[in-house]
């Protein structure tokens, strides 16, 4: 049994899909969860769900592509709660289309959101973690697209590959501070993001997954819970695919 009582967790992308399941799972294990998302209209329902869990929590609105807003949010959150024990970067987005058709604006958005957003949130929150000296857990959500490539998701796959390389290097820098940094790579997961895929791609993926079903957001949140917990105290710089066996990377 994983007990996160007394831990404080900051989770991005927490209004939907994997991030929302993660926020609820960490709060169920006893952590106080600061659920962050750009979708401020979901604040009431996210807050109500967290209030029903053991650890409770709150919602904060944040656009992770806005560097100044990240710093202000980190100041506010750590000013009220102290350094986080857990940081989970989940916010992300993509649209499948041929690489040659990607507009400059689309490419910019994909990199800002899926790569630089995680870099900037990590940089803001890791400083108070280091100063606290209490150790911490960082879990960054990448994608199997970043491990094995994905047709029509070329720039996204590059950004998600960057998340893995960044996380491994950060893990090396942070080990002396007892801050573990690990990565979860979801495979196709039943969320609003995946809903946006074409029926043809959805059917092909289902046929290719050994378990013959999509991941649920809870399947992914359970892997994140492990990395965020004291059960992973000696684990850092690692990448875990949660994909029903679709990818089996060495």
Ligand X SMILES: NC(=O)c1ccc[n+]([C@@H]2O[C@H](COP(=O)([O-])OP(=O)(O)OC[C@H]3O[C@@H](n4cnc5c(N)ncnc54)[C@H](O)[C@@H]3O)[C@@H](O)[C@H]2O)c1
Catalytic residues: 156
Question: Taking CB under 6 A as the rule, does residue 16 contact ligand X?
Answer: yes
Contact indicator for 227, 137 with CB cutoff of 8 Å: yes
Question: Closest distance between ligand X and the C-beta of residue 134, in Å?
Answer: 26
d(CA 45, CA 90): 18
Q: Which is nearer to ligand X, 19 or 158 (CB)?
A: 19
Q: Which is nearer to ligand X, 129 or 214 (CB)?
A: 214
Question: Closest distance between ligand X and the C-beta of residue 91, in Å?
Answer: 4
Question: Taking CB under 6 A as the rule, does residue 154 contact ligand X?
Answer: no
Sequence-ordered alpha helix ranges (H) in the chain:
17-28, 43-51, 67-81, 104-111, 117-132, 144-148, 154-174, 192-195, 199-208, 217-228
Of residues 209-248, which lie at the interface with ligand X (CB under 6 A)? none
Q: Which residues contact 34 (CB under 8 A, 6 or more apart)?
A: 8, 9, 10, 11, 57, 58, 59, 60, 77, 81, 84
The CA-based angle 42-189-201, given to 5 degrees, is 120
Question: Taking CB under 6 A as the rule, does residue 17 contact ligand X?
Answer: yes
User: Of 79, 104, 133, 192, which lies in the binding site for ligand X, with binding defined by CB under 6 A?
Assistant: 192
Choose the stretch contacting ligand X; rule: CB under 6 A; options: 3-11, 48-56, 63-71, 78-86.
Answer: 63-71
Of residues 114-153, which lie at the interface with ligand X (CB under 6 A)? 141, 143
Question: Taking CB under 6 A as the rule, does residue 37 contact ligand X?
Answer: yes
Question: Taking CB under 6 A as the rule, does residue 18 contact ligand X?
Answer: yes
Of residues 89-108, which lie at the interface with ligand X (CB under 6 A)? 90-93
Distance, C-alpha 69 to centroid of its chain:
18
Output b/e per residue, 20-34; b: 16+ Cβ within 10 A: bbbbbbbbbbbbbbb
Binding site for ligand X (CB under 6 A): 12-13, 15-19, 37-39, 62-65, 90-93, 113, 141, 143, 186, 188-189, 191-194
């Amino acid at each position: 049994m994983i007990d996160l009582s007394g831990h404080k967790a900051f989770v991005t992308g927490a209004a939907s899909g994997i991030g929302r399941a993660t926020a609820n799972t960490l709060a169920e294990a006893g952590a106080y969860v600061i659920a962050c998302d750009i979708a401020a209209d979901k604040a009431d329902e996210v807050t109500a769900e967290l209030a029903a869990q053991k650890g409770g929590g709150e919602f904060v609105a944040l656009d992770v592509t806005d560097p100044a807003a990240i710093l202000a949010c980190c100041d506010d959150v750590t000013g009220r709660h102290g350094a986080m024990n857990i940081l989970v970067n989940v916010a992300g987005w993509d649209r499948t289309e041929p690489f040659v058709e990607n507009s400059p604006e689309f490419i910019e958005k994909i990199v800002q959101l899926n790569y630089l957003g995680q870099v900037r949130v990590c940089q803001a929150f890791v400083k108070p973690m280091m100063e606290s000296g209490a150790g911490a857990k960082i879990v960054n959500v990448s994608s199997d697209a970043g491990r094995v490539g994905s047709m029509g998701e070329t720039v996204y796959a590059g950004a998600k590959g960057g998340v893995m390389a960044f996380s491994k290097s950060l893990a090396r820098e942070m080990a002396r501070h007892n801050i573990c940094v690990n990565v979860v790579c979801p495979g196709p997961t039943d969320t609003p993001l995946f809903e946006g895929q074409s029926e043809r791609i959805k059917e092909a993926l289902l046929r290719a997954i050994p378990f013959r079903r999509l991941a649920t957001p809870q399947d992914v949140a359970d892997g994140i819970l492990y990395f965020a917990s004291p059960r992973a105290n000696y684990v850092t710089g690692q990448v875990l695919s949660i994909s029903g066996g679709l990818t089996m990377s060495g």
